[in-house]
Every structure is written in C-alpha cells, then in structure tokens.
Amino acid sequence: MLIVDDDRATVDNLGAVLTESGYEVLGAHDGAEAIGRLESEPVEVVVSDIRMGAVGGIDLLEHTIGRHPEVPVILVTGYGTIESAVEAMRKGAFDYVPKPVNVDKLELLIEKAIHTQKLVAENVDLRRQLSEKYSFGNIVGRSRAIQQLFAELEQIAGTNATVLIRGESGTGKELIASALHFHSARSEGPFIKVNCVAFAEGLVESELFGHEKGAFTGAHKGRKGRVEMAHGGTLFLDEIGDLALSTQLKLLRVLQEREIERVGGNATIPVDIRLIAATNRNLEKDVEASRFREELYYRIKVVTLDVPPLRDRTDDIPLLADHFVAVFNREHGKSVRGFSQPAMQRMAQYSWPGNVRELRNTVESLVVMARSPILTIDDLPPGILELRDEPTISVRVGTTIRDAEQQLILATLRMSDGNKARAARRLGIGKKTLYRKLKEYGVFSGEDPSDQVPD
C-alpha cells in the first residue's frame, strides 16, 4: 500500500493499522513524493488525500492512471471535497472514503480493489493467450501455398468482409476463422461457432435464430439464437453447404436486412455480425444442382480463402509434426524430442487423407505411447507404414524431352483426377503453363471456367 497525506500522523496511524492487517505499507507526505515512490517501488494500491500542497490527490490520480493504469487509487475526502471525489471517480479513481476514515471500510475497499485488479490482470492475460493461440504465426507452415494464405489472412483480418473458407475436412478451417476474428476490430466481441450438420433439420432454425416461448413442443421459455448471440462479434457457420434450402433463405434475409425474427415471434431484432462460413463441398456445383441458393452463395463469397490439403503442402509436414510433439509434450508431461529421419521421411510420404487433423491425432498418440525420446519408424501406425505405391511412368532412353514431358504431365493429370490446378501444383508449374502444354498436346482447348481446386 502507498499511503499519501500531508498530515504525518494520518500516514503513521493508517500505516500501523494496515501493517497489522498484513499489508506492506509505504508512506508519502505529498503528491510529488508519492509519484517518486510509484516510479521506484512496486505498489499495488494507492490511498491518498485529495488536498495536499502543490501536487494534490487529483494530480497523483492522473499520473497513476497515465503511467500505472493497473494500480487502483482510493481517495480520502475531507469536508467540502466530496464533489472533487465524485469528479475524480469519473476520471478513473477506484473509490473514495470520507474523513474521519473508517478503517474497516477502507480495508474492505482495499480488498475489493486488489480482487478487481487481479480479475483485470487475468482477463488481459487470457486475451494475450487467445491472441497467441490464434495468431497467424501459430498456423504452422512454410510452403508456398500456406504462405500465400497467410498473406491473404493479414490483408482481410481487419475488415468486416464476409469470408468463405473452402477446404477438405481436417485442413484447419475453424482455426483460420478463429484467427480472423481475434485479429479483427471485433476481437472484443463474441465469436460464436455453429456446426450446421450438428443439429436435426427441425432444430437448426431455433439454434440459429432463437425461439419464443411456446413456439413448438418443449419450448417452455424463449431463448436467443446463435446469430443474436454473435451481435457485435463474429458468427462462424461451419459446413454451411449442409443447411436446408429453407434455412438458407432465412439466413440470406439476415445478411441483407441485418435483422432476425425468432421462431414463433413477430418482432424484428437488429443484429450486427461479421459472417465467416466454411465448407468442404463444391458450392458452385450445388448451386447448379439447386442444392444451394445462388443468391446466398454470392452473398457469402465476398472473399474466398482456399485452404490447401496437407498432401499439397508436404513441406509443412515436418514442421507440423515437430510443433505437435511440443504441444503434446506440454499437455501430457512427456519429453519426446522428435522423429528419426527415416520416420519423418515416411510421414512426409504419406498422403494424410484426414489432413492436419489426422496428423495431429497421430502425433498425440505417438507422444503418449512413446517409450524413448526419439520416435522411430517402428513407432508409426500400420496405415502409414503400408504406403501405397505412387503411380510411375517409364520413359525409354532416347525419348525426346517433349514426349517425356507430355507423358509426365498427362500421368500427373490422371493421378489428380483431372483437376488441372492440383496437377499444376504437383508439377511445380503455373496453371497457364499447364493449359498451354495441354493445348500443344491437342488434349485441351480453351480456358476451362469450371477448373478449380475442388472443395
């Protein structure tokens, strides 16, 4: 405690009482001396008189708020200074006590101030941890594909633009949505996640838009929906492609009108949300097949992010594997140092159909079951050890470079199920180069507007 009063007896008496209560007490006899103490010694709470010479309690308050905002200030007021104390509270004082000081009341205020500051500190620390957890730096990767994704994330995170995240299951779409929220101007607001396939069709609208009491059997009281809960923050709709057409229409109205109606209600409720949606489906094909509303599709794809599957970013597998080893060492109290070179090579050769999620779960199992500091090839699960042979081509000696190149490109295209964008990435060339080569071989003519990485 820092006790500040130009009356030395007051400082001594309060100091003695608080010392008896277990506090370590510092004393100062004017605002200038108190400021010196604040700058040179650790202080948790300031208790100060308002009227003191040239540098008074209000001056001390303003200095403390400016330089040490974590330190609460309790002011002591004499007759005629109550108005000053109220004004000081508007400026940020924690509270005030009148003279003569009721020591019991002062101690209660001090305990309350310390408790409040601990909560504030814990909240700041929690937000720091959340920020670190979802920082782009912790979406691990050094491949060209993931670095391009990082650049796009940094560009759009601070905006309010609606974002559609496309990618296979397990590629980390939810992590990316979380990172977008926690790096946005809405980071202080809620981040509400909805898995659109987690609820029965009859309950989805109630979950999204809420309902009024008696709206349906079992609705014994009204409740907010997830859209309303996300007011002032971000709504993340995972697997949006699985929403029923009727629900898609109501969601479209929310995005257009920025208001909702609860199920069974007539009142319109304004909502301020940023929408981030994710899907592993090809929504363009769903639109063509009338499984997804065209107007909603164009409303949610203001910005589109494509998350590459792990098989297309094999350079990241060693980084991710080592990252997960460190994560699960901390979580399970283990001390695994990493993988042997043959084990890591085999990990990098595996296709990882479950993407990053499968890799994460595999590494956790290996860390938990590890019997030695280094994970060897014998520790790997059978699915990774029993690698299927990748397709190969044979080129006769003397074959022209042009013909060999054609065989390689066409074989890679077949291995990529005809997807030209994926084949181009595997070959390490651009899509335009691949289109040009295919035209030369007479197997492709014109730009294919439907050619893109499938979701």
What residue numbers bound the domain in which 342 lies? 311-385
The CATH number that applies at residue 330 is 1.10.8.60
pLDDT of 445 reads 46
Shared domain for 104 and 202, answered yes or no, is no
Q: Which residue do the tokens 């595997």 mark?
A: 426
The CATH number that applies at residue 406 is 1.10.10.60
> Is 50 exceeded by the pLDDT of residue 74?
yes
Shared domain for 63 and 170, answered yes or no, is no
Shared domain for 293 and 344, answered yes or no, is no
Assign 92 to helix, strand or coil. coil
| pLDDT per position as a tens digit, 346-392 | 999 898 999 999 999 999 999 999 988 899 988 999 888 875 545 66
Residues whose CB is less than 8 angstroms from the CB of residue 88 and which lie 6 or more positions away in sequence, other chains included: 50, 57, 58, 61, 75, 96
Q: Taking residues 418-430, what's their average pLDDT?
A: 80
Q: Taking residues 233-244, what's their average pLDDT?
A: 95
| pLDDT per position as a tens digit, 280-305 | 999 999 999 999 999 999 999 999 99
pLDDT of 447 reads 47
pLDDT of 128 reads 63
Phi first, then psi: give them for residue 342, nearest 5 degrees.
Answer: -60, -40
Residues whose CB is less than 8 angstroms from the CB of residue 418 and which lie 6 or more positions away in sequence, other chains included: none
Shared domain for 325 and 225, answered yes or no, is no
Of 362, 385, 408, the last residue of a domain is 385
Shared domain for 254 and 272, answered yes or no, is yes
pLDDT of 99 reads 84
> Is 80 exceeded by the pLDDT of residue 123?
no
Domain total in the chain: 4
> Is 50 exceeded by the pLDDT of residue 186?
yes
Shared domain for 169 and 247, answered yes or no, is yes
Q: Which pair of structure tokens corresponds to residue 80?
A: 């005629």
Q: Taking residues 131-146, what's their average pLDDT?
A: 73
Shared domain for 270 and 321, answered yes or no, is no
Of 127, 160, 184, the last residue of a domain is 127
Shared domain for 416 and 327, answered yes or no, is no
Strand order in the sheet with 191-195: 191-195, 234-238, 274-279, 163-166, 303-306
The CATH number that applies at residue 166 is 3.40.50.300
Q: Enter the pTM of the model.
A: 0.61
Inter-residue long-range contacts of 257-263, CB under 8 Å, 24+ positions, other chains counted? 260/209, 260/210, 260/225, 260/227, 260/228, 261/209, 262/209, 262/210, 262/211, 262/212, 262/215, 262/222, 262/225, 262/228, 263/205, 263/206, 263/209, 263/210, 263/211, 263/212, 263/215, 263/216
Of 110, 127, 144, the last residue of a domain is 127
Shared domain for 142 and 285, answered yes or no, is yes
What DSSP character marks residue 223? B
> Is 60 exceeded by the pLDDT of residue 399?
yes
Shared domain for 369 and 254, answered yes or no, is no
Shared domain for 40 and 112, answered yes or no, is yes
Shared domain for 262 and 175, answered yes or no, is yes
The CATH number that applies at residue 40 is 3.40.50.2300
User: What is the C-alpha to C-alpha distance for residues 420 and 382, in angstroms, rounded to an integer?
Assistant: 32
